[in-house]
């Protein structure tokens, strides 16, 4: 596995895993969909577990009462009461907690349904982060998550609302973005057919 250099001070990072959606296209409870014997959200947390980040925050909303008992005690749970309005509200909710929780230089924002991502993928992002630039994943339709955002844009992330996600912030600061290609980020599970790509 790639590991960040240890001979230079590393920025203090938080991880924000988004898992609050209703998953209407999937048919509900996507976060708990079984993938090789484990619920989807556990796969995401496993990939993030070895990262040199200070704390992992998980935003829950729909089905939160069912998901929370499946998570280990090492994560900090955040409930987004406005989850139905969209991903932007979940990012804002999570970032409000992170911004007041303790001296982070940046935040790694990840989605629980990008289940092909590995620890190596997240390490590539973290290794590229210098505490100043946004480090975003290059997708076929532009830059997106997973991505790391420096403290300088925390206010922007807290201002998100409704369905508008982190891509808006990436686009707004396009002159300060480092792009990283992660092949494993191409799949996010939105439907039952998507799920078959990782369970068949």
- For 157, the enclosing helix (H) or strand (E) is helix 154-158
Whether residue 102 has pLDDT greater than 80: no
In this structure, of 17-21, 146-150, 195-199, the range with the lowest mean pLDDT score is 195-199
Whether residue 43 has pLDDT greater than 80: yes
The answer to whether residues 52 and 108 touch, using CB atoms and an 8 Å cutoff, is no
pLDDT confidence of residue 51: 80
Whether residue 4 has pLDDT greater than 70: no
How much is the pTM? 0.92
Angle of CA points 55, 105, 1, to nearest 5°: 60
How large is the average pLDDT for residues 45-59?
A: 88
Radius of gyration of the chain (CA): 16
The CATH architecture to which 13-199 belongs is Alpha-Beta Complex (3.90)
Q: pLDDT tens across 10-38, in order?
A: 789 999 999 999 998 898 899 999 999 99
Q: How is the chain split into domains, by residue range?
A: 13-199
Residue 93, Cβ neighbours under 10 Å: how many?
Answer: 25
């Amino acid at each position: 596995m790639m590991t960040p250099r240890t001979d230079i001070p590393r920025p203090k990072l938080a991880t924000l895993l988004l898992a609050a959606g209703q998953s209407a296209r999937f048919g509900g409870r996507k976060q708990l969909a079984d993938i090789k014997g484990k619920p989807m959200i556990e796969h995401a947390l496993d990939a993030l577990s070895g990262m040199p980040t200070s704390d992992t925050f998980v935003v829950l909303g729909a089905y939160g009462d069912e998901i929370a008992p499946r998570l280990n005690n090492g994560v900090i749970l955040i409930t987004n009461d406005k989850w139905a309005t969209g991903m932007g509200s979940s990012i804002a909710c999570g970032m409000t907690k992170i911004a007041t929780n303790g001296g982070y230089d940046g935040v790694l924002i990840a989605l629980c349904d990008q289940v092909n991502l590995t620890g190596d993928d997240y390490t590539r992002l973290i290794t590229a982060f210098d505490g100043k630039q946004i480090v975003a994943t290059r997708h076929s339709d532009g830059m997106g998550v997973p991505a790391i955002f420096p403290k300088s844009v925390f206010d922007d992330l807290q201002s998100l609302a409704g369905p508008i996600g982190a891509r808006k912030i990436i686009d707004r600061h396009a002159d300060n973005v480092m792009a990283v290609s992660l092949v494993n980020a191409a799949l996010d599970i939105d439907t039952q057919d998507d799920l078959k790509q990782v369970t068949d």
